[in-house]
Homo-oligomer: A and B are copies of this chain.
Amino acid sequence: MPIIEMHMLEGRTVEQKHRVAAAVTKAVSESLNCSPETVRILITEHGSEEFYVAGLTKSQRAALQEQGQ
């Protein structure tokens, strides 16, 4: 360990995934004083219809705001 599962919305580039995985590994190993080799990262992507805040997707929320609600 540590084993880190990162839930993200679909759409990030391979380059962004590489960058965030390297940055998080560095952050974890430095702040927990453990070897980078012990840090594993899993990225799990979710489509735009698979993430909800207050029961709404981002686009549902934007549509409501447009209707002035």
Binding site for B on A (CB under 8 A): 1-9, 12, 14, 16-28, 30-32, 35-37, 39-46, 49-57, 60
Q: How many copies does the complex hold?
A: 6
Nearest chain B CB to A44's CB is how many angstroms away? 7
B-side contacts of A2, CB under 8 Å: 6-8
Given A1-B9, A12-B32, A40–B52 Cβ distance below 8 Å? yes
| Contact of A50 with B55 at beta-carbon distance under 8 Å, contacts A24-B24, A31-B16 already known | no
Nearest chain B CB to A9 CB, angstrom units: 5
A55 contacts which of B21, B32, B42 (Cβ < 8 Å)?
A: B21
Can you report 24 A-B residue pairs in the complex whose CB atoms are below 8 A from each other? A1-B7, A1-B8, A1-B9, A2-B6, A3-B42, A4-B6, A4-B7, A6-B28, A7-B42, A12-B32, A14-B49, A17-B49, A19-B31, A21-B52, A21-B56, A22-B31, A25-B55, A36-B54, A39-B53, A40-B51, A40-B53, A42-B46, A43-B49, A44-B46
